[in-house]
């Protein structure tokens, strides 16, 4: 005994509707996949510590202005988003043990060096030897005078150093510029 009302026309209609549902479901799956790809890319971009479109010289000039007002020194970090050691240093500086030490007493500027093809003139102007590795750091006064710089790739193995060793590094090199009553040279 068959289903009442099932004619070849109604079966064709049911199959067509089912096919449309399958096609709609396929489109929705693709839209969901695209949405998650977009979300992942947006998240990755948000986690990028080095603004690849930034004007490094302008960023440093603005930090110099703030440093003069606040009587602080400036830490300029040269690195790149593709660099795992640069990512580790960024994490240590923003949420690791070093974060309170640095955010309280310094202006921080991140300078993207791309694939060693961007802002090389900026690094050279401070005497930063990028050929020794990135991340590289220079500490400058509010008058744009070099107070300290990494000369031997001291932070180029930040992943191996870990948060504690990065903290110890900054504690040691930043100590002279964190003293109570410190006046940046040239002020």
Cα–Cα distance between 58 and 157 in angstroms, integer? Answer: 29
pLDDT band at 8 (very low <50, low <70, confident <90, very high): low
Q: What is the pLDDT of residues 155-180, one digit of tens each?
A: 999 999 999 999 999 999 988 887 55
Token pair belonging to 55: 């004007």
Pairing of strands 146-149, 136-140: antiparallel
pLDDT at 35 over 60: no
Angle between the 98-105 and 158-174 helix axes, to the nearest 10 degrees?
A: 40
pLDDT on residue 176: 85
pLDDT over 70 percentage in the chain: 71
Q: Which residues contact 166 (CB under 8 A, 6 or more apart)?
A: 88, 89, 92, 93, 96, 97, 98, 155, 158
Q: What is the pLDDT of residues 123-132, one digit of tens each?
A: 999 999 999 9
pLDDT on residue 184: 47
Identify whether the C-beta of residue 132 lies closer than 8 Å to the C-beta of residue 172.
no
Q: What is the mean pLDDT of residues 3-23?
A: 58
Number of other CB atoms surrounding residue 17 within 10 Å:
10
């Amino acid at each position: 005994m068959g289903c009442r009302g099932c004619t070849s026309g109604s079966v064709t209609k049911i199959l067509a509707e089912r096919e449309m549902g399958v096609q709609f479901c396929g489109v929705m799956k693709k839209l969901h996949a695209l949405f998650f790809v977009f979300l992942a890319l947006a998240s990755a971009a948000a986690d990028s510590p080095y603004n690849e479109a930034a004007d490094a010289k302008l960023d440093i000039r603005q930090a110099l202005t703030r440093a003069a007002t606040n009587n602080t020194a400036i830490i300029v970090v040269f690195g790149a988003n593709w660099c795992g050691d640069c990512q580790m240093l960024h994490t240590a500086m923003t949420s690791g043990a070093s974060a309170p030490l640095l955010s309280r007493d310094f202006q921080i500027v991140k300078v993207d060096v791309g694939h060693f093809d961007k802002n090389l003139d900026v690094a050279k102007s401070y005497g930063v030897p990028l050929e020794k590795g990135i991340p590289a750091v220079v500490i400058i006064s509010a008058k744009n005078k070099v107070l300290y710089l990494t000369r031997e790739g001291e932070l180029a193995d930040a992943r191996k150093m870990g948060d504690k060793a990065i903290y110890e590094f900054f504690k040691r090199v930043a100590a002279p510029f964190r003293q109570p009553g410190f006046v940046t040279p040239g002020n």
